[in-house]
Structure 1
Amino acid sequence: MSTPFPPKEPGERLVRWLYSLALYLLSPFTLYHLVSRGFRVREYFRRWDERYGAYSTEQGRPCVWLHAVSVGEVNAAAPLVNALLRQNKGTRWVITTITPTGSQRVRSLWGGRVDHVYLPYDLPGSVDRFLQHFRPTVALIMETELWPNMLFGCRDHRIPVYIINARLSARSLRGYRLLRPLLGRALRTVRCVAAQSVTDGRRFQVLGAEPAQIQVLGNLKYDIEVPDGLEVLRSAFEDALGRKRPVWIAASTHEGEEEAVLALHRRLQARWPDLLLVWAPRHPERFPRAQAAAVAAGWKVGTRSRDGWPGADDQVFLVDTLGELMAFYACADVAFVGGSLQPIGGHNLLEPAAVGTAVVTGPHLHNFVDISRRLDEAGALRVGQDLDGVGDALETLLADPQAREEMVAAGLALVDQGRGALRRTLELIAPDLPEPDPVEE
C-alpha cells in the first residue's frame, strides 16, 4: 500500500507565490551568472535550455531521478547508484547536477548508462516542464539541495522524495532562517530525510521537518569505493619517478589557497630537495593558473594531460584531469585536503584515508564536522590551525614513517567501521523503487 502524500498546508499558496515572484524578478540575474561563469568555464555557455526546463528530445519513459549538485555529491552517490544499476539494469536513470564538473563526473562514472541534464532553476514553469518531461517515479536528493518549488512540484505530481545522505551545517541553518516559513512547508512534503547524524536530523527538524520524517542512517561517504586498478596506477607512478622520492599531494585547493600551496612546497623542499608535489586544484578553470604559478616559482612542472606521469626531475606534477584524485592520493605519502585554509568548509577527508594516505587539513571544516571529528579522535587526521600549522603537520609526517603508518591504519579502520549507510539507504528507498530485474537462470 503506497504512502499517502501530505496535503497542502495553510498559507502554502501565499509563501509559494511570494517566493516564485521574487525568483521571476531575479531571473535576469541568472543570465548574468551564466555569462560571467562562462568566461571562466566555457561549458556554462552551453545547454542553457536545460537550466530553464526546455528539452528538444522526446519525453521518454519514466525514470528514477537523482540530484547531486556537483562532484563531491556525485562521488558520494556513486556507491548507491552503482548498487541500483546492478540490481535493476532495466531502470532508466536521470542524474542532474548544477555544475559542469558534476556533469563531467557523471559521464566519467557511468557514460551512457544514465541520462544527465542540468537541474533547472527553481521557477514554477521550469520545474513543471522538467517533471512532466522526465516523469520520475521517485526523486533522490543528495545532502542539502532544498529547492522549494521542486519539492512542492514533486508532491503535486505525486513523486515521492527522499533527501539522502542529508546534512545541514549550523552555518547553513542560519542562512536558511529567513526562509523557514517556506522551507518548513516544503520539507514536510518529502517522504524521508535520511540524515547523516543525529545532529543533522535535529537541524532539519529546526528547519521544519517533522520528527517522524527523520531517520539517521549514517554517511554514504564511508561506503566509498576504492578505484579499480589502484595498484597498477601507483606502480606506474613510482616507475615514472625512477627512484624513491618523498611525495605530498595538495588536493581540492581553491582560489586563494594557491599561494599557500607554493609556500608549503618551498618550505618542505628546503628539507627534502627531491620532494615532489602532486597538485590537484578543485576546479578545472584553475588548472592553467596553478601550472603557471608553479612555473613562475621556478619549478619544473609536469601535467597529467600532457605528460601522463611525472618525470624524474619534475618538482610539481599537476593532476589536470577529473575522476583520478583518489588514485593519486594513493601515490602520496601525505595528503593536504584543501578548501580548509579558507572558510569554504573543507572537502572529503575519507578519500585519502580509504586508500591508505595520511591526511592533513586546515581548520575550516564545517562541511565535514562529524567526519573530521571522528578521524581526529581516531588519530587519523592532523589539523593545522593556520598555514604554519599545516606546514608543521606535513613536515612532521614526511619525517616520520611510523607516524604515517599509524595514521593510515587508524584511517582504514575508521572507514571500514563507518560502512553501512549504503545498505540502510537501499532498504529505506526500496518500497518506491522499480521492481528488481528477475534473476536469470
Structure 2
Amino acid sequence: MTRRPTTLPLRLYRLGMQLATPFAKALLRPRIRRGKEDPTRLPERFGLASRARPSGQLVWVHGASVGEMIAVLPLIDRLRARDFEVLLTTGTVTSAKLAADRLPPGVIHQFVPLDAPRFLTRFLGHWRPDLVVLVESEIWPNLLLEVSERRTPLFMVNARMSARSFARWQRTARSVKSLLRRVDLCLAQGRDDAERLARLGAPRVSVTGNLKFDAPPPPVADRTLEALKAALAGREVFLACSTHAGEEDAVIAAHAALKTRIPDLITLIAPRHPERGMEVLRLATGTGHPAVLRSGGYLPDRGTDIYVADTIGELGLFYRLARLAFLGGSLIRHGGQNPIEPIKLGCAILHGPHVMNFAEIYSRLDQSYGAEAVTDADSLAKAAYALITDEARRLRTVKAGQATVAALGGALERTMAALDPYLVQIRLEKHTLKDRESTR
C-alpha cells in the first residue's frame, strides 16, 4: 500500500502547500501584526528547531492550543515517568506562554511547523520522534503523510469529531479515509466521536473518555492570590470567563441589574482572547461602570465595578476568588468553553445554550443540576442573583457538578493502558537495535 497521497484533493493540497512555501514568511506577517505569531520564534514555524534533540527515546505530542495542552499534561507526566523524552508542539502564542509556566522540567516546547512538506521534513529530520501523539482533532494532511512515510507510530488521543466537522469531512470522504487509515490507534472521548471517526475511516478506534476530566486544577502563586483577595475583601465576586465579542454586553447588563440589589458586587470579566481587554474596558466605561485592566498592573479598589482580567494563564486565580462563574462562548454560537476547571475549584456554573463543543458534559451537568443554563442578560442576572443569595442552592449546584466531573474521570488510566503495549514495543526495538550494533 502506498503511503503517499492517494486522492486528487490530497495531491492538489500538497502541491498548493509546496507552491506557497516560498511565501510563508509574507503570509504570516498579518498574523504577526495581530499578535498571533511570536516573531522571535518564527523559524520554528518553518521546521527550524530552536533546541537540540535529547538523546533518549522521544514522544512528539501535538495539541492545537491551551485546552489541548492542559488536557495532555497528566499524560506527559506519565510518559516522563516511563523515561521517555517529550516534545510538545502547539500553534498559538497563548499556549506557548502557558507552556513556559506549566510544562514539567525537561519537556521541550516548540511551535508546530506549518503544514508544508519542506517544513515538516526539516522538523522530522531533526527531532526523529519514536512516537507521535495528536491531541483531539488535529488532522493536518501533510503532517499525517510525512509521519506515515517514516513509518513512525501515530496515535490520536482524546480524539473528538463534532457533528459539524464530521459533515465537513464527509465532503472529501475518500481523502479523509486515506489520512485516517495511517493512524495506528485512535482513542476517542465519547461514543459519538468514536462512531464518526470510524465512519470516516479510522481503523482502530476505542473510547477512553476525556482527559480533561483528569487534569489537575491550574496552579496559582500564593502571593498573587492573597493580594487579589485583599483587594476584593468584603465584596461579592461574579466571574464571567472565556467570553467572546457579543457576550460582554450581556454580562455588563447583568452586572448593572445585580448591582441594584447587591451594592458591593464586582464583576470580573476574563475575555477568551486577552488582546480584547481594551475593547471590554470601553464597553464597561461606556455604560457608566468604572473599570480597570489587570494587564495594566491595577488591582481593583472600592470604586471598581468591572475588573477586566486580560492576562494569560490566570484563570485558576479567578476561579479561586469567585463563588460562581458564567462560562462564555455559549451565548453566541461559538460552542461553549470547558467547565471542568472551575467546577473542581468550587464555582457554581452558568452557561448559555450554545455548548455543542462540550455537549456531553453540559448535558450531564444540567441533568444533575450541576450547572444552570441561561439565554440572555436578564436570565443571567436572575440565575446569578439566586445563586449569590441562596448559599444552600449554590452548594448543591457545586456538589452536583463535582460529582458529575468525578464520575466522568478515568480517561488517563484508560489512555495509558492503551498506549503501554506500544511504548513497551518501542523500547524493546531500541534495545534490540543497540544489541545488534554492539555485536558488530
Please report the TM-score for the alignment, with normalisation by the length of structure 2.
0.88
Q: How does 1:258-273 map to 2 (within 5 A)?
A: 258-273=248-263
Assess, with a 3 A threshold, how the Cα gap between structure 1 residues 302 and 423 changes in structure 2: closer, same or farther: same
1:104 alignment partner in structure 2: 97
Secondary structure at the counterpart of residue 246 of structure 2: coil
Moved more, 253-262 or 101-110: 253-262
Question: Does residue 230 of structure 2 align to residue 246 of structure 1?
Answer: no
* C-alpha separation in 2, matches of 1:111 and 1:291: 35
Contact 2:7 2:174 in 1 (8 A): no
Are positions 1:171 and 2:167 aligned together?
no
Whether the aligned pair in 1 keeps the contact of 2:4 and 2:149 (CA below 8 Å) is: no
CA contact (8 A) 1:34 1:45 kept: no
Q: Distance in 1 between matches of 2:390 and 2:287?
A: 28
Residue in 2 that maps onto 1:401: 391
Alignment of 1:17-166 (within 5 A): 17-24=11-18, 34-41=28-35, 43-55=37-49, 58=52, 60-61=54-55, 62-85=57-80, 87-88=81-82, 90-110=83-103, 113-166=106-159
2:18 aligned with 1:16, yes or no? Answer: no
1:290 equivalent to 2:283? Answer: no
- Please identify, of 157-166 and 22-31, the stretch whose mean Cα deviation from structure 2 is larger: 22-31
SS in 2 for 1:113: coil
> Which piece of structure 1 moves more, 383-392 or 412-421?
383-392
Alignment check: 8 A CA contact 1:40 1:285 kept: no
Distance 1:33 1:328 in 2: 37
Contact 1:35 1:44 in 2 (8 A): no
Cα separation, 1, equivalents of 2:351 and 2:404: 17
In the alignment, structure 1 residue 201 sits paired with structure 2 residue 191: no
Asked if structure 2 preserves the Cα contact closer than 8 Å seen for 1:148 and 1:182, the reply is no
Q: CA deviation at 1:46?
A: 4.1
Matched-pair contact (CA < 8 Å) for 1:34–1:44:
no
**8 A Cα contact 1:363 1:386, kept in partner:** no
Cα distance in 1, alignment partners of residues 61 and 182 from structure 2: 17
Superposed CA offset, 1:398-433 (max 9, x none): 232221111001011112222210111111112333
Query: How far apart, CA to CA, are the structure 2 residues paired with 1:374 and 1:221?
Result: 15
Map Cα deviations across residues 90-117 of structure 1 (whole Å, 9 max, x no partner).
5322111111111111111027532221
The 5 Å alignment of 1:207-226 reads: 207-210=200-203, 213-226=204-217
| Alignment match of 2:415 (pick from 421, 425, 428) | 425
The AA in structure 2 aligned to 1:106 is: A
**Paired residues for 1:346-385 under 5 Å:** 346-385=336-375
> Residues 58, 233 of structure 1: CA spacing in aligned structure 2 closer, same or farther, 3 A cutoff?
closer
1:363–1:186 Cα change, 3 Å:
same
User: In 1, are the aligned partners of 2:132 and 2:155 still within 8 Å (CA)?
Assistant: yes
Amino acid at match of 1:153: E
Higher mean C-alpha deviation, range 387-396 or range 262-271: 387-396
Q: 1:67 to 1:282 in 2, by over 3 A?
A: same
Give yes or no for contact 2:18–2:117 (8 Å, CA) kept in 1.
Answer: no
Q: Identify which range, 287-296 or 230-239, moves more after superposition.
A: 230-239
Return the alpha-carbon distance in structure 2 between the equivalents of residues 316 and 271 of structure 1.
16
Native 8 Å contact 2:54 2:85 kept in 1: no
Q: How many residues align?
A: 425
Give the corresponding residue for 2:431.
none
CA distance in 2, matches of 1:180, 1:32: 33
Task: Give per-residue Cα distances to partners, 1:121-147, cap 9 Å, x unaligned.
Answer: 222222222111111111111101111
Whole-angstrom distance in 1 between the partners of 2:228 and 2:405: 25
Question: How far, CA to CA, are the matches of 1:283 and 1:33 in structure 2?
Answer: 22
Percent of aligned positions with the same letter in both sequences? 36
Normalising to structure 1: TM-score of the pair? Answer: 0.88
SS in 1 for 2:155: strand
Equivalent position amino acid for 1:267 in 2? A
Contact kept? 1:397, 1:403, Cα under 8 Å: yes
Larger CA deviation: 351-360 vs 32-41: 32-41
Aligned partners of 2:23, 2:358: CA distance in 1, in Å?
A: 31
User: Do 2:250 and 2:376's aligned partners in 1 also have CA atoms closer than 8 Å?
Assistant: no
CA separation of 1:152 and 1:93: change in aligned 2, threshold 3 A = same
Alpha-carbon distance between aligned partners in 2 of 1:123 and 1:346, rounded to the nearest angstrom: 31
